[in-house]
Chain A
């Protein structure tokens, strides 16, 4: 394998991993506050169509990302209102949100399907971004660097800030947090909105980063991978980074192995295709062996907050 090919593979892996990473980081914060939002896939689709329409209308990629985040927040607040204000079941509401997002994006996308847009260009100047070697570090659009920054940002927020401590307290023991005066519902609203913004941006990655068009259901299940990754990473941002890239790597290598028609086929494509599932099994086994990892799940995850009971 030449170094050129390795760099080309890395570039493709980064593209495939970024939307999963961004969506999963959002869901991680939501779950840390004790809320399980299964509507990531739906929010991503709403973000994707919003980004597409804004980009198609204005041609401005940054505005498209911003509007996708806003649309994600708006969609997540439907979930927030039902589960936090009305204490509806989070699992059912999350699933309904995915159905809603899928249908809404399809409806909003009517008439936008035969319209091409342009991909978001690299953040750095062409000297660096198109350099045969350095493009591996500098050849990406702002969304990719944003995803890395958010890994550090989420880790720092949860571990090092007072607000992060409060959010974790709300997720671990809502009644205690409530009894010392924190607004459990308020904190959770904020977390859900953050998750919505991140899912919206993750959706924007599809027309902006991967394939410059709108196609119904274009996220094709990656929102579910993001939800699974949070458990896979046992609610830790840096493991989430590793997990997202592991999934991105195996998804991409399957295709490179198949397209190589020989040289790369030392590992059969079927094995690459099976790898995410094998990796999941291995990680789950490791987690169950190390008891501390499984106890990292927020204690109040998925439980409605009903202080009057």
Chain B
């Protein structure tokens, strides 16, 4: 037999490299090459889908000014990410979006080696001359969802499936319960962290664990519709689409959804790089700018509840409402924000405490 172990290994390495090659566009140097690094797959109907839609939007808006965007999927938050970032920079990409929190350290490291390449890190907090950060004010959307939950929940108990207790997730939980407790002061929320962004079976089991223990609203911060499907199957009060409208998976259970619309941000950044006006900054648009959108309300949501939710949405758009305005107590009942004071963006982005109503993880 001529197939040796060595040739097998070579074939294996080649096979492993294939997915990378497939997604790269080796275009000429004229149009701006923009790279996107994703933690999961563009087919997740959630977070990553939102970013790929944003990339498409950018290409459609800017036409020949940009090359077909390079999207690298399934990049773990670890050393592998550094390799992918470096390869993108070396292959002529002048603008690279790293779209998961855990990429932060690697973005900073690679950016130092490629000073002429602009990097933008979603949901991050570390910046340098050629590293900007950007995010969306998802907490504004979560305040709308929390309002619906406060009205609709029969048990007054919600669960929240999160990946990791990072500020982005903690902030969402807090905004949700703050809004819900304006309706029902006894409302509680139990976060369940599952230590992964993409394990649908585990998300579904987490939803089962919640519903079996009297929780009737399941919100999630993970990327797919698995939890919503369980809510639908079990006939609990409801849940919320995350990142995209998920009503196809839960026509009755989806009360409403938070839709990510990254497109305008990507157009703005790419245009700035083309014009040579790009500068490191931290951008954080929300409902007002249309980067965060609220999907249609589900069939079980009464009109007055939808109207109350719309009022919360519009209040945040016109600036009359900021969900993180005091008085706010933490989960032990100690006042953390005085009446009339609003948390600053910096305080929100480093949020590491739960508000009253959150039953903290053991």
Contacts and interface: CB of A to CB of B under 8 A. Distances in A.
Interface of A: 5, 8-9, 12, 15-16, 82, 86-89, 92-93, 95-96, 99-100, 103, 106, 109-110, 113-116, 119, 206, 210-213, 215-220, 222, 251-252, 255-262, 264-265, 268-270, 273
Interface of B: 1, 3, 5, 8-9, 11-12, 15-16, 18-19, 40-41, 43-45, 74, 159, 188, 190-196, 198-206, 208-210, 212-213, 215, 224-226, 229-230, 233, 248-249, 359, 361-362
A265 B192 contact: no
Contact of B44 (A87, A216, A251, A261): A216
Contacts of B8: 82, 88-89, 92-93, 96
Nearest to A214: B43
B309 to A, nearest CB: 25
A88 B3 contact: yes
Contact of B248 (A115, A210, A268, A269): A115
A154 B102 CA distance: 44
Contact of A12 (B19, B44, B209): B209
A265 B192 CA distance: 12
Contacts of B45: 113-114
B5 A211 contact: no
| B interface, over-half SS | mixed
A86 B202 CA distance: 39
Nearest to B193: A258
B5 A89 contact: yes
B170 to A, nearest CB: 15
B231 to A, nearest CB: 12
* Most chain B CB within a 10 A radius of its CB, from A116, A217, A251: A116
A258 B362 contact: yes
Contacts of A113: 41, 43-45
A116 B159 contact: no
Nearest to B196: A220
Given A5-B212, A15-B205, A258-B361, A92 B200 contact: no
A255 B194 contact: yes
A144 to B, nearest CB: 15
A99 B201 contact: no
B362 A12 contact: no
A82 B3 contact: yes
Contacts of A273: 195
Contact of B209 (A119, A210, A255, A265): A255
A95 B5 CA distance: 13
Contacts of B205: 12, 15-16, 210, 251-252, 255
A215 B16 contact: no
Given A100-B15, A216-B44, A265-B362, A88 B5 contact: yes
Contact of B362 (A88, A220, A257): A257
A256 B192 CA distance: 9
B12 A217 contact: no
16 contacts: A5-B212, A12-B208, A12-B209, A82-B8, A89-B5, A93-B8, A96-B8, A99-B12, A103-B15, A113-B43, A210-B205, A211-B201, A213-B226, A219-B201, A255-B208, A273-B195
B249 A213 contact: yes
Contacts of A265: 362
A156 B210 CA distance: 40
A87 B224 CA distance: 41
Given A5-B212, A220-B199, A259-B159, A213 B190 contact: no
